[in-house]
Structure 1
Amino acid sequence: MKRALKAAAAVLVLVTAATAQQQPERRAQAPDTGGRSATYNPLKTFAPYNMPQQPNAYRGGDGSPGPLYWQNSADYEMHASIDPATKTLTNTETITYTNNSPAALNSLWLQVEQNTYRTDARSRAFSGGSRQRAENLNTEGTVFESLDLVSNTKGARPVKAEYVISDTRARIALPTPLPHGASIKILIKYHYTVTGPWGGRTSVGDVKDGPIYDIAQWYPRMAVYDDLRGWDTQPFLGNEFYTEFGNYDLFITVPAGYMVAGTGALVNGAEVLTKTQQDRLKQAAASDRTVFIRTLDEVHDPASRPKQDGVLTWHYHMDHTRDAVFSASPSFIWDAAKMNLPGGKTALAESFYPAEAAGDEGWGRCTEYLKDAVEHFSQDWYPYPYPAGINVAGFSSGMEYPGLVFDGIKTKTKDLFVVTAHEIGHTWFPMTVQSNERRDAWMDEGFNTFIDIYESDQFKNGVWGPKRDGEYAPGGGYPADEIARVIADPEAPPILMRADAIREKYRHPITYFKSAEGLYILREEILGHERFDRAFRKYIRDWAFKHPTPSDFFREMESEGGEDLSYFWRGWYENNWTLDMAAKDVKYNDPADPSKGAHVTIEQNGQLVLPAWVQVKFEDGTDLKIKLPAETWMQKAIYNMPLPTTKKIAEVVIDPDHRIPDGNRANNTAKP
């Protein structure tokens, strides 16, 4: 063994010496530092990357669900009513929960998010009151009047459940374990006081024609039991969802003068609408132009309701969804239009809003915006899966749920278009592709903001300008430059930080904008449209109505995109590294003859590496662009880049179009 090592060492010495004799000038110009500079180490950027979760039979090495992937399901039947005199919501709820996991379950966990309004809620200490107003707080939270269980045994009767409430969670102790493949019914009767304007999610506020109730995150719902952690029981601190898919039936009883917008399809229109409204709804379902179901003038006309006194019960139904919400008010104007989906399918775009929001400057065009966004997202990424898409102008503004979103009453024109596209875009992330928002909010907010970029380009041929002009960046200008300022902040968290741990100062810049910019760079600079689109569409298709993790996304994009992206996942997502490329020393190969070409020295000074365009501007006004791949920096920090030119050079510029977040553009230009 020693003899072999000595022989190998001798060969290495000879090869090294020969190399030194052949390239004395290169060694003199760039002494071997192991490829490092004072601020860049290629071995750190290009080290093998270990995904947060390892592949197994549940989650494959290519990022798709494995052959043994499973998830549990929960179906809901709700009989809810609102008492406007006391602002009390009462609900009788039946959950049918099915255990598809390989384990028998000893307990069941519920999310009880209405307890966030209790004075002792964890969210109060966590948020410092930033997301709650004093008038929204009460000491009651959700009051359980009864909680019973019914087994799937034939003829079984309800039994009183033993349960413990812990902040915004409740644990039910099962009398016997729930085996694989079995179902159990959970019967809950409860009530709570609807909070004031922007109560976190559920709210009530007044407009001139009466109150608007936006009822969301309003019922005890099953926590997720998955292959990653078992029961995922993070408390509700402000970040949003992780729920099971199932079928929903909502029966909502309100005063007869109220209109109700609910998740899914209206089942009993003949009972709660006038004949005229039923006919208009049918007309809208076949119309590409917006049709009024209830006009502004009719809001004050008693004939716009089937009866004047008492109550009416509205029935909404939707299958294979992760949540259901509704809004109720006597003030609603209602319009709708047909949405054209792939394969000849259609769905209904609808808007509900009060008189204060009416008009073409306001919500009179909201259905048009909704229709355009859904049609483009369906064509580009994945078909819209629900029978209707609804936007409601109320007091829980800027919130998204399956098939129904809430936006602001005063929002108008371009702002209304942008927020409508963004909120309904959440249909794709996370309503269809349901990542865990409480842990990885960037996988819904950032992905959704990314698809918004292209919708902004597409609507009326970019009439309000593409988002690349700064629409989604904090301070306008080039989004890449905005992100450069964000990641230069040493206190800015990495994208892969737990969502609740990201301070409000960084929530939008990191969770929304850096995440969106990462996908934009991946599509525009790294993979290109064809490879990215195929991989991203496969990711959506594979994980539709399932629960992907960051590792599933990373693997899917690498496997289907055909690229080792370890350097990108590490630099952009796991760390908050900065990028700084510098150009200097533009020299002609023959100082007396520019026709013999030239070279420029490019230095990598940041730990983040991305492909970059280098522009060579000539004195005659023409230019040449050369793309440097990320692999340029796999072994070195300095690259003596050849320039295939025959003309005199005016200057060389790195990233002239600001496509990547270079943090120091003062050193991006060099002249001969």
Structure 2
Amino acid sequence: MKKFYSLLAGSLLLTSALQAQQIEYNPGSNHGNKFEQLGSTLLADPNMYRSASGAPGPKYWQQKADYDIVAKLDDDKQRLDGTETITYYNNSPDALTYLWLQLDENQHKKDGDNAKIEESKMQDKMSLRQLQGIMGHNLDLGNHIVSAKDAAGNNLKYTINETMMRIELPKTLAPGAKFVFKIAWWYNISDRSTIGGRGGYEYFPEDKNYLYTMAQWYPRMAVYSDFQGWQNKQFNGRGEFALTFGDFKVAINVPADHVVDATGQCSNYSQVLTSAQYQRWQKAQNSHKEPVEVVTLAEAKKALQGHATTRKTWNWHAENVRDFAWVSSRRVVWDAMATQIDGGRKVMAMSVYGPEAYPIYRRYSTKVVAHTVKTYSKYTIPYPYPCATSVEASNGMEYPMICFNYGRAEKDGTYSEATKNGMIGVVIHEVGHNFFPMIVNSDERQWTWMDEGLNTFCQYLTEQEWDPTFPSNRGPAYKIVDYMKLPKNELEPIMTNSENIQRFGPNAYAKPATALNILRETVMGRELFDYAFKTYAQRWAFKHPTPTDFFRTMEDASAVDLDWYWRGWFYGTDPVDISVDSVKYYRLNTKNAQVEGSYDRAQFERNLTNISTTRNKEAGMRSAVEADTALQDYYSKWDRFAATPATDKSYKAMYDALSPEEKKLYDSKNYFYEVSFSNKGGLPMPLFIEWTYTDGSKQLEKIPAYIWRHNEFNVTKVFAKTKEVKAIKLDPYRETADINEGNNSWPREYTPTRFELFKQQNTIRGASTGGNPMQEARKTNP
């Protein structure tokens, strides 16, 4: 990547993705647009904080925030009360006069803007959640700030703007200084099934118990960075979080019969677990093949019967994390096993799940967790934390060392294959988020693809290493085709703010994952890609990267110019549609009079034949020469193409005049094929050509994407072959996401497809979906 720098002041990364998409250096031309460098228009200027290589600069800095939190869960009122002490370290070169915190629970406030900005429509069938989205609710939800004080107990002035809270500092916070303050707060926990959101509770009416998944539950420091200052964009529910690294000390007070798991490590298991449970926890430390049930299914079912009146406090600590989440319930099983990372370092892989998930989670979840941290560690950095936990919560959300997933069996204990695969996929995905963005800490609010896209790409690699027959939905190039062929007014570039994306899954998850997989398999090759990708993870672990840092690092570590690729795949909406338009076949003159005469005769006769001569002959018309033989002379019967001693001598003389190298070329009997391609979709890509020869053999040939640099719409290339070609096919392995395979072949191939009509059904996330042969087998063979 050439490092041309803009003269514009500041270091903001982008103006807008739509403007970036439209920038052309040479508008109206067929070249000089798609292959121009990004530096002068689309990338942030390098500086002392972020280098032109994509690495952190010599003066890179980031803030730190440490938390000491005490929280109390009221299981009768579904309320959470908390106090926290925040120590904020100003490592920036800037003097700060105020601090910004995130109050994400305010997303649920009945009078908040979040309930007003989404479109809605009436349908023939409406769910309670849909109707509440229209009517709103009258619940007392959102953060209630009791007090904000400095370390000496003095009240701090603060302002709440929707989901953001500004603390006015009593005096300027100088570079290198720290500020300690305390916040007391409470909020009513929301029902995730009706209100929605990432955290909340799920109620189980059959046993009258709750499962609490506590996320975004405490006032959290917003990020202050070198590239944008305060990240205080409001939380509207989709765009996730930019957060500051720090150390956590958290005391969680819950009913005595609850089991708690959380980010980090618990320091008082010996006090909160029973003697038997604590012994099982010790056993799990050395169990490397099978998970040990620390809290058993029998204990979970027994707990469902009671309702403790006493309470316990679970003490947790976590170092160098950007967030903290936890789960609490009396109706859960907890299992654990040890797995080894980076040459023997132990990581505890664990799962927490209810009885309804037991048949599938007990068999798979913890082993999938272990597989995920090992596989991601291979492609990025060794997993640095002491544990990783998967919680079944009919949900899908990620936090440091803990994530909430889905996947429940039927009441008879069976489950469909779709439920099994969906559960394995979501566990890999959410555990994988430990790497992106919990460690490589990008700003999810601005660039969703930097965590979801990179993570989905690694998820694909991990799924295939779990089971090569695993039906990965995102990653293979051909699976993004239906999205990329949509009309342009239904698309937006990957480099689009999270809240502005129409088709969130394809845009932020699938397309960037596909783009990275194509880079790895098709454009760069595995060796170059893997080295560069690992370099990015190593450079930006526990830091705040931007897209510029990623793009530059991938090029810096590989020596592959990818500006054209970022421009097309990340800043644009053009699809891939490359067509084989025509094929012309050429042979060298053989210098054999008889062979060349036959060829020239066929060409001559072909040129004499046209629609007029054909119809004259069919009508029985006789020409003047045919009617009057006196008009015929020597040339009327002369065979101008017949081989004669003179022509033989002439061809022999021409052959003898050739150099040895030229004679060798003639004797090789090469075939030449002039193939014309057109870029109908607009997105340039390499040409992968499969040649099928008349003897049945095949050959695959790759032409780099740079062939389009002089003409981005049409190219012609001549190929020399030693065998006669029967057919040509572009992209035979479907690795470029070409949206129209019908024009990829010569001669054209037409493949019929089949379809069926089906009745759409709505299912609850995490419930068994698809056919359930396991259940049918039990009915047949009880």
Q: Which residue does 2:458 correspond to in 1?
A: 451
| Range moving further from structure 2, 163-172 or 409-418 | 409-418
The structure-2 alpha-carbon separation of the partners of 1:571 and 1:409, relative to structure 1 and needing over 3 Å to count, comes to: closer
Task: Spell out the pairing of 1:556-567 with structure 2 (5 A cutoff).
Answer: 556-567=553-564
Q: Which residue does 1:639 correspond to in 2?
A: 715
Q: Which residue does 2:372 correspond to in 1?
A: 373
- Do the aligned residues in 2 keep the contact of 1:37 with 1:605 (CA within 8 Å)? no
The structure-2 alpha-carbon separation of the partners of 1:37 and 1:92, relative to structure 1 and needing over 3 Å to count, comes to: closer
Unaligned runs of 5+ in 1: 1-35, 151-156
Q: Deviations over 1:128-152 (max 9, x none)?
A: 58899569773441111111112xx
1:404 to 389, 402, 406: 402
Q: CA deviation at 1:597?
A: 1.4
2:78 to 84, 87, 108: 87
Task: Spell out the pairing of 1:240-319 with structure 2 (5 A cutoff).
Answer: 240-288=240-288, 289-301=290-302, 309-319=309-319
Q: CA deviation at 1:237?
A: 0.8
1:555 aligns with 2:557: no
Q: Which residue does 2:671 correspond to in 1?
A: 597
Q: Which residue does 1:49 correspond to in 2?
A: 38
The structure-2 alpha-carbon separation of the partners of 1:480 and 1:87, relative to structure 1 and needing over 3 Å to count, comes to: closer
Task: Spell out the pairing of 1:582-661 with structure 2 (5 A cutoff).
Answer: 582-590=579-587, 595-599=669-673, 600-636=675-711, 637-661=713-737
- Do the aligned residues in 1 keep the contact of 2:105 with 2:141 (CA within 8 Å)? no
- Do the aligned residues in 2 keep the contact of 1:601 with 1:640 (CA within 8 Å)? yes
| Range moving further from structure 2, 59-68 or 632-641 | 632-641
SS of the equivalent of 1:356 reads helix
- Do the aligned residues in 1 keep the contact of 2:269 with 2:278 (CA within 8 Å)? yes
The structure-2 alpha-carbon separation of the partners of 1:243 and 1:132, relative to structure 1 and needing over 3 Å to count, comes to: farther
Q: CA deviation at 1:60?
A: 0.3
1:435 to 434, 442, 458: 442
SS of the equivalent of 1:509 reads helix
- Do the aligned residues in 2 keep the contact of 1:583 with 1:654 (CA within 8 Å)? yes
One-letter amino acid matched to 1:659? E
Task: Spell out the pairing of 1:465-476 with structure 2 (5 A cutoff).
Answer: 465=471, 467=472, 471-472=473-474
SS of the equivalent of 2:343 reads helix
- Do the aligned residues in 2 keep the contact of 1:294 with 1:304 (CA within 8 Å)? no
What is the alpha-carbon distance in structure 2 between the residues aligned to residue 608 and residue 257 of structure 1? 59
Q: Deviations over 1:249-304 (max 9, x none)?
A: 11100000100011111111011001211111121121121111111112244699
Q: CA deviation at 1:657?
A: 1.2
1:535 aligns with 2:536: no
- Do the aligned residues in 1 keep the contact of 2:26 with 2:32 (CA within 8 Å)? no
What is the alpha-carbon distance in structure 2 between the residues aligned to residue 603 and residue 202 of structure 1? 50
The structure-2 alpha-carbon separation of the partners of 1:328 and 1:253, relative to structure 1 and needing over 3 Å to count, comes to: same
| Range moving further from structure 2, 546-555 or 204-213 | 204-213
TM-score, length basis structure 2: 0.76
What is the alpha-carbon distance in structure 1 between the residues aligned to residue 709 and residue 449 of structure 2? 28
| Range moving further from structure 2, 569-578 or 240-249 | 569-578
The structure-2 alpha-carbon separation of the partners of 1:190 and 1:607, relative to structure 1 and needing over 3 Å to count, comes to: same
The structure-2 alpha-carbon separation of the partners of 1:348 and 1:528, relative to structure 1 and needing over 3 Å to count, comes to: same
Q: Which residue does 1:671 correspond to in 2?
A: 747
One-letter amino acid matched to 2:586? N
- Over the matched positions of the two proteins, sequence identity in percent amounts to 34
Q: Which residue does 1:494 correspond to in 2?
A: 493
1:570 to 567, 571, 582: 567
Task: Spell out the pairing of 1:300-379 with structure 2 (5 A cutoff).
Answer: 300-301=301-302, 309-359=309-359, 361-379=360-378
What is the alpha-carbon distance in structure 1 between the residues aligned to residue 356 and residue 738 of structure 2? 45
The structure-2 alpha-carbon separation of the partners of 1:303 and 1:242, relative to structure 1 and needing over 3 Å to count, comes to: closer
Q: CA deviation at 1:97?
A: 0.5
Q: Deviations over 1:328-368 (max 9, x none)?
A: 00001111111210131011111111111111x34542111
- Do the aligned residues in 2 keep the contact of 1:588 with 1:596 (CA within 8 Å)? no
SS of the equivalent of 1:522 reads helix
Q: CA deviation at 1:380?
A: 2.5
The structure-2 alpha-carbon separation of the partners of 1:608 and 1:220, relative to structure 1 and needing over 3 Å to count, comes to: same
Q: CA deviation at 1:521?
A: 1.2
The structure-2 alpha-carbon separation of the partners of 1:458 and 1:443, relative to structure 1 and needing over 3 Å to count, comes to: same
SS of the equivalent of 1:652 reads strand
One-letter amino acid matched to 1:579? V
What is the alpha-carbon distance in structure 2 between the residues aligned to residue 635 and residue 235 of structure 1? 45
Q: CA deviation at 1:644?
A: 2.9
What is the alpha-carbon distance in structure 2 between the residues aligned to residue 257 and residue 89 of structure 1? 17
SS of the equivalent of 2:696 reads coil
Q: Deviations over 1:539-562 (max 9, x none)?
A: 001100110001111110111111
The structure-2 alpha-carbon separation of the partners of 1:132 and 1:434, relative to structure 1 and needing over 3 Å to count, comes to: farther
Residues paired across the two proteins, number: 618
The structure-2 alpha-carbon separation of the partners of 1:632 and 1:176, relative to structure 1 and needing over 3 Å to count, comes to: same
SS of the equivalent of 2:376 reads helix
Q: Which residue does 1:18 correspond to in 2?
A: none
1:118 to 102, 109, 116: 109
SS of the equivalent of 2:436 reads helix
Q: Which residue does 1:127 correspond to in 2?
A: 118
Q: CA deviation at 1:377?
A: 1.1
| Range moving further from structure 2, 88-97 or 285-294 | 285-294
Q: CA deviation at 1:463?
A: 4.5
- Do the aligned residues in 2 keep the contact of 1:107 with 1:174 (CA within 8 Å)? yes
Q: CA deviation at 1:309?
A: 4.1
Q: Deviations over 1:365-399 (max 9, x none)?
A: 2111111111111123211121111111125x111
What is the alpha-carbon distance in structure 2 between the residues aligned to residue 312 and residue 304 of structure 1? 19
SS of the equivalent of 1:431 reads coil
The structure-2 alpha-carbon separation of the partners of 1:451 and 1:501, relative to structure 1 and needing over 3 Å to count, comes to: same
One-letter amino acid matched to 1:629? P
SS of the equivalent of 1:429 reads coil
What is the alpha-carbon distance in structure 1 between the residues aligned to residue 137 and residue 699 of structure 2? 61
Q: Which residue does 1:512 correspond to in 2?
A: 509
Q: Which residue does 2:93 correspond to in 1?
A: 102
The structure-2 alpha-carbon separation of the partners of 1:132 and 1:437, relative to structure 1 and needing over 3 Å to count, comes to: farther
Q: Deviations over 1:440-464 (max 9, x none)?
A: 00000000000111111111x4243
1:425 to 432, 455, 464: 432
Q: Compare CA radii of gyration and give the structure with the larger one.
A: 2
**Structure with more of its chain in strand, by fraction:** 1
CA RMSD of aligned residues (A): 2.5
1:204 aligns with 2:201: yes
What is the alpha-carbon distance in structure 2 between the residues aligned to residue 80 and residue 140 of structure 1? 18
1:181 aligns with 2:176: yes
One-letter amino acid matched to 1:212? L
| Range moving further from structure 2, 40-49 or 378-387 | 40-49
What is the alpha-carbon distance in structure 2 between the residues aligned to residue 542 and residue 78 of structure 1? 31
Q: Deviations over 1:99-150 (max 9, x none)?
A: 0000110001110111111122222122358899569773441111111112
- Do the aligned residues in 2 keep the contact of 1:284 with 1:336 (CA within 8 Å)? yes
SS of the equivalent of 2:66 reads strand
Q: Which residue does 1:25 correspond to in 2?
A: none
What is the alpha-carbon distance in structure 2 between the residues aligned to residue 303 and residue 417 of structure 1? 27
1:192 to 176, 187, 193: 187
What is the alpha-carbon distance in structure 2 between the residues aligned to residue 99 and residue 427 of structure 1? 26
Q: Which residue does 1:464 correspond to in 2?
A: 470
What is the alpha-carbon distance in structure 2 between the residues aligned to residue 484 and residue 187 of structure 1? 50
The structure-2 alpha-carbon separation of the partners of 1:272 and 1:463, relative to structure 1 and needing over 3 Å to count, comes to: farther
The structure-2 alpha-carbon separation of the partners of 1:274 and 1:132, relative to structure 1 and needing over 3 Å to count, comes to: farther
The structure-2 alpha-carbon separation of the partners of 1:560 and 1:273, relative to structure 1 and needing over 3 Å to count, comes to: same
- Do the aligned residues in 2 keep the contact of 1:136 with 1:195 (CA within 8 Å)? no
1:521 to 518, 521, 524: 518
TM-score, length basis structure 1: 0.88
One-letter amino acid matched to 1:457? Q
